[in-house]
Structure 1
Amino acid sequence: MTKIEFRNVYFRYHEDQNWIIEALNFTIEPGENVAIIGHNGSGKSTIAKLMMGLVYPQKGAIFVDGQRVTEDHIWEIRQKIGMVFQNPETQFVGTTVRDDVAFGLENRGVPRVEMVDRIKKSLIDVGMDDYTLHEPHHLSGGQKQRVAIAGVMATEPDIVILDEATSMLDPIGRQEIAKVISRIIKQRRMTTVSITHDVKEVMQADRVIILKGGELYQCLTPRQLLAGEYDWDYLGLTKPFVLSVKEEFEKYGYQFEHTPLNHEELIDALWTYYSKT
């Protein structure tokens, strides 16, 4: 059974405006890691809100685990989804890190003994187990995001939505948080939807959905994205370094067997080539 399905979805916030999401169709299978990209205003964050049932489509239908996203079923659906927002402070409700991670578990009626175990495990997973009694608002940006991730992961969702979850961090913090998220997702084999402008996150996805004006422009793999002709600024992404290096080598006659996704693949391709010459 598909985990997430959009069937001919239309959405706008006001009746007198153009459609923000228009005739949108796609599916995300169980266990997939899908990145959703597009220029500002293309409808990326609105998709996250539609998945969570924070807003509802005017036309079409959205299904999560075979169940239609409606007001009648939204409680059951939200039990299956965890969402990490761009600004972690919007998720804080507790006076301590421990209380904050416990909040979602209390709402779900998780028994106290199990709750204590989940809180401890989630904080260890994100490297914040030494900050249990700290106040969330006094933490650094990266630490706040780690606590927000722990709060989501403690609820053990089937699906995780990352809405620009690393965009407010500096490059080093972004890289650290991306590694934490990637490791936890692989361990728990969750379905993941990453709404992002970070090209490294895009390269780690199984598939990439490109939005253009609220419509599905293309759905492809990261390697296909790198191999195509795209305006990276329009997509809201920085052109990958490995792609720039590849293009420079091709100017001098080097032909790659396939487009490298990362530094490791680039180095392997160059090493193989020069070891034969």
Structure 2
Amino acid sequence: MTDAWEVDPAYENYIGRWSRLVAPQFLRWLAAGPGGAWCDVGCGTGALSHTVLRTADPARVVGVEPSAPFAAAARAGADDPRFEVRPGTAEAIPAADGEFDRVVSGLVLNFVPHPVEGLAEMRRVTRAGGTVAGYVWDYADGMQMIRVFWDAARELDATAATLDEGARFPLCRPQPLRDALSTAGFTEVAVHPLDVPTVFAGFDDFWRPFLGGQGPAPGYCTSLPAGRRTALHDLLDTRLPRDDAGRIALTARAWAFRGSVPA
């Protein structure tokens, strides 16, 4: 099973809508001044790039994205001459040494096969004294919609334990992130929690995104035979709390990280 990230609407329904809530918090924490050249590595459908354009007053923003459908969605969502998208990956960024003042990346680093190498490549394209920063979900604990999904899946299927992002991505905790940044040669390393509400109108609003096949949990869900998928649906339906209006109010925690390129 692969971590598929290709279908724009399914991604938006599953994670994109929540990533768009995290991006403004992340930029406030980053506290970058106006101007400068930015690069958004793994820009996806543009959640972070578009927020930079709206709120950070950049001179320009370059998105780097390997998925052609996601890159097209990012371009379509920002009618701004300061924005371009280039094909590439975190380990092969199509940019010159020191081209950017700030390199950022949202919800990507844990999917990079060799995260330290990816960070080193981000460092390469950042000027001396510049900043590399990003954020990842707290899969082990604080990203509740994914945590509750895998907890239920593991009760019904022992093999789900090897697919659980909390187990697969130990990087997504404060100390491993600090260690990776330090190993990649950054100074002034910092890690900070970002919490956003994830409120679902009802159980169908929670469940439907897991049928889109985008990402590890939906990929697992859609791979199940119908009967086992129904059992997972029913277990989650009984487990999730509702308020008086039937809404399911959860929270999502991301860990933001940043480091400086030595001058």
> Does TM, scored on the shorter chain, surpass 0.5?
no
Using structure 2 for the length normalisation, give the TM-score.
0.31
Using structure 1 for the length normalisation, give the TM-score.
0.30
